[in-house]
Chain A
Amino acid sequence: MNILETKDLCKTYIVNKRQNNVLKNVSLAVGEGEMVAVMGPSGSGKSTLLYAVSGMDGITAGKVLFCGKNIAEMSQKELAVLRLDEMGFIFQQMYMLKNLTVLDNIILPAAQSKKNKEPRRETVQRCRELMRKLGISDIADNDINEVSGGQLQRACICRSMMNRPKMIFADEPTGALNRTSSDEVMEELAKLNSEGTTIMLVTHDVKVAAKCTRVLYIVDGNIKGEYNLNKCEGFSQMRERERSLNNWLLELGW
């Protein structure tokens, strides 16, 4: 069953009276439990696609169905509730509120959610558990300026998980991290996916994309091709997955 579907999705920006068609009739489907990577050259519309399908940005034409509901027809208020309760977001820059501790930043979506009826103490407990799982329980009470980029990105993953979303959208989640941190973060995302959370991420990194189940290649606002990778079974397969993905990308002009 598809959790996300787009039909003839178009997104156009008008800059200095010039029309810039960033997405051109994009149609795609993401099944429940999938982990999809979107790749493509810079300026091809990867991030725009991610923001359009997640309801963070409006669309010009077409349909975006999330759990069967067309989010293009939703009001800003409905979209906010949808993002809060059903979706999680991870950004390349580890954006967090400067005036809050790491833990407070993570529990913020839960504190905001009307769906979440649990007492705040329980929310905090759940957050600590989540942080422990991601190996950052020791930075809970730190300010965001007191932790490393990798830790911060893992905190962002925790935040995206707090309201038990159906789907996580990640825009270059490892873009600002070194290789070790990048691997750690991807491991966590893969773990989440294996637990049933659908993930859609944008990346330039073949190693990151190789951890996904499917890769979409986008050029000039069109999906030029898609590459199916099976569930990653272990480290030994990784080299092979990366090589085959790389070859496919090279065929497409990567």
Chain B
Amino acid sequence: MYLNILKKDLKRKRAMNVILLVFITLSTMFISSSVNNIISVTTALDTYFETAGVPDYFAIAMNTYASAENLTEVLENAPAADEVRIEEVLYMLTSNHIMHNKKLLETSFNFYLVQSDRDLALNYFLEDGSILENVPAGQIYLSYCVAKNEGLEPGDKITIELGGINREFTFAGSFRAAVGDAELFGFARFVVNAADFDELLSDEAVISGSSAKLCYLYTADLDRTLSQISDVTENFIFACDREMLKFSYLFDMLVTGVLLIVSLILILISFVVLRFTITFTLSEEFREIGVMKAIGIRSIKIRGLYLTKYAALSIIGAALGLVLSFPFGRMLMDLSSKSVMINSQSTALINVICAFLVPAVILLFCLSCTGKVNKMTPIDAVRNGQTGERFRKKSLMKLGRSRLGTTAFLAVNDIVSSPRRYGIITLTFFLCMSLLIILSNCTTSLTSKKLLKCFHMAECHLVIDTGSMMNFSSEDGHVELKKYLSEVEQTLAENGMPAECMQEFGMYSTFMYKGQESRVLAFQGTGTTMDMYEYTEGTPPQNSGEIALTTYAARALQAKIGDTVVMSTPAGEREYLVTALYQSMHNSGIAATLYSGEDINYTQFLMTPGMQIRFTDNPGDQEIRHRMDQIRELFPEFTDVKTAGEWVKKTTGVADAIDAVKKISAALTIILAALVTVLMERSFIVKEKAEIALMKAVGMKNSKIYAHHTTRFLIVVTAAVTAAELLGMPLTRLCFNPVFRMMGLEMGVEYVQSPVEIYILFPAVIFAATAQSAFFTSLYTRKIKPSDTANIE
């Protein structure tokens, strides 16, 4: 009998059953792919480092330095080192040109690393996920970030000019190198055929000037290893440990964080919609439930019947959703796995587990909803619920007293009469719109010059890579740099561009305080005054021997304002009085800023964001663009001239990726809004068939009914969009402050909004999707005839 009732039910209530099936399929698809993605991205970096074989310590050593001859021997014989891998490379300063279309390839550092396919120490992943093993002669592979930034396509020509050698290669593809291929700082790495590499190295001058080694040390005790190899560390022109390598992927992980948020919102929407659909479809069954109770069927049997039906539907829906979850999950994942290889294939089992869980959750929902069966009486069947037993007070508004037109009144009245039903739809649209606003705020902030503050840089208009900044890494670099900046200022002033030029230089140093030690990235500005920076507490350093620490550095050292910390420098240890605290993204927030007037040995200074220019005559955007061209003409040696916003965008490197996620989310939102509207409206039509027929019978035109149904959704969207716009900024802070906190910004970021996107574009998109879907679905009411009033059950 059960089977017969079930078969009849599936056939007779086809529309509602199909709607439920579609929702179950969608929910399974979202939940399976999202849970899989969450697991994949949260473990992505560790998994990537493991599969790539990232070492515990990485260094670039020049072969020309004094102790270079026994470098390999010292490293290999260090008792604490478990394994040492070496790659021979050409360390080429950007003055040795590597060009594409006669344009110098851009890199975060001032050097390129060219290596052969003979001694690849790590696993370098090609775009299809395979490992780079050998390179055909005449071809060249590039690290992913550089290839992406240059927009290189396979077949493009790349020229290497080195000493007397000028060699053209064909770009064969990009690879992901776990060491030095992150958005925050990435070396430009190139892999060529061994024979080609030998040819490049054939010049004696090249061997003596550019030959270097990439050293990868695997050890369980890094400190002991470093002390054992201390004799050769003077060869290292760059070195960092695994944690620092991880930190370099911070911004790449921001994209995965965004993906996490998208996935969580999709899961939330799925559950909200699923629960709504189940309760809604079950409420359709009240009459039948009443009839069954009236003829004496026990509640448990009735519940069993509905559980069987929902089990059948959810198993079919979950199976379909499982199949769809793979391509959908891959589509989302493709957005994030740019610099980091994310292996989502291995977690296919997660999709299957989720697909099993969805029917279980549905049955739980169903069980709780059918709990009402116990409370229902046969009277629900006899009087069809219309005369009052099942309905609470409904009519909150009065048509007689309202100034609204009939259509608008009916729409508003429906919403206020069924707040829970429309509340669910509002919540769904609110989540969709909030997602877009959050992503928009994030993208806009990551391309705003306001983010300069987060790198503890002074406000400026332009940031320039002069191509010669590392030349100041000398003992008197600070003085030389001061002179250089004055010269540039003078030239600019002579050409009608009054400006202040400044430059930050940074080096890693060990800071100590009362037994606590921490590796701190210490910066000193040249051409800046200390009041140009932003502090969270205290007063800016005003004299030599004073320093500002980030809140994270102060916490690591357990120091506070007024304490004296010790900084280890090449010239020995120096004491600094902590006068202020601030927040910065450098070195995961563990940084310091020295007094700009202090005389410091610049030999150890390793990194610089570039020369900053602040025009003192406050030019407009167009004028700034014009001046950028003028500067390029005046200083042809400048390799890169960017606005502050462009520099922030390039440095964070993920704005484009988040923008891509935003665009996909926008598309997803349109689809979701349209689907939710279509399915909900279709459900409403089924439920309101009697009322629609009645309205037609009393002479309401079809067009009025379409307008009534469409207006309901438009009101709901308006409420959702307004709420999302009001709560957009707090939600952005809620979602991204923890991420920025991990990066060192304890107080969060001053987010920037794009009014065009938030107040015009996104609302228009959601309105259009909803209005069209509601309208086209409401056309289905055309099939309901006035005479159906007589046939309604």
Contacts and interface: CB of A to CB of B under 8 A. Distances in A.
A84 B698 contact: yes
A120 B391 CA distance: 28
Interface string B383-408: 01011110101110011101000100
Interface size class of A (residues with CB under 8 A): 35 or more
Nearest to A125: B400
| A contacts with B: majority SS | helix
Given A51-B787, A84-B699, A91-B789, A143 B694 contact: no
A112 B785 contact: no
B691 A145 contact: no
Contacts of B792: 93, 95
Of the listed residues B410, B787, B792, the one surrounded by the most CB atoms of chain A closer than 10 A to its CB is B787
A80 B699 CA distance: 4
A57 interface: yes
B737 interface: no
A56 B785 contact: yes
Nearest to B790: A47
A145 B386 contact: yes
Interface string B323-357: 00000000000000000000000000000000000
B394 A143 contact: yes
Interface stretch (B49-57, B189-197, B700-708): B700-708
A185 to B, nearest CB: 16
A85 B386 CA distance: 27
A36 interface: no
Interface of B: 384, 386-389, 391, 393-395, 398-400, 402, 406, 409-410, 413-414, 417-418, 690-691, 693-704, 785-787, 789-790, 792
Interface of A: 47, 51, 56-57, 76-77, 80-85, 87, 89, 91-101, 103-104, 107-109, 111-113, 120-121, 123-124, 127, 141, 143-146, 149, 152, 159, 163, 171
A80 B387 contact: no
Contacts of B389: 145
A143 B393 contact: yes
B699 A111 contact: no
Contacts of B388: 143-146
A130 to B, nearest CB: 13
Nearest to B704: A112
A171 B789 CA distance: 10
A104 B790 contact: no
B417 A108 contact: no
A224 to B, nearest CB: 22
Nearest to B396: A99
Given A57-B785, A96-B694, A145-B386, A77 B702 contact: yes
Contacts of B409: 111
A99 B417 contact: yes
A89 B698 contact: yes
B386 A144 contact: yes
Contact of B406 (A57, A87, A111): A111
Contact of B697 (A89, A101, A145): A89
A97 B402 CA distance: 17
Contacts of B696: 56, 80
Given A91-B789, A97-B691, A81 B699 contact: yes
Contacts of B786: 51, 56-57, 83
A175 to B, nearest CB: 11
A90 B388 CA distance: 20
Given A51-B790, A99-B414, A145-B387, A104 B395 contact: yes
A149 B387 contact: yes
Nearest to B700: A112
Contacts of A121: 400
A101 B398 contact: yes
A80 B790 contact: no
Contacts of A120: 399-400, 402
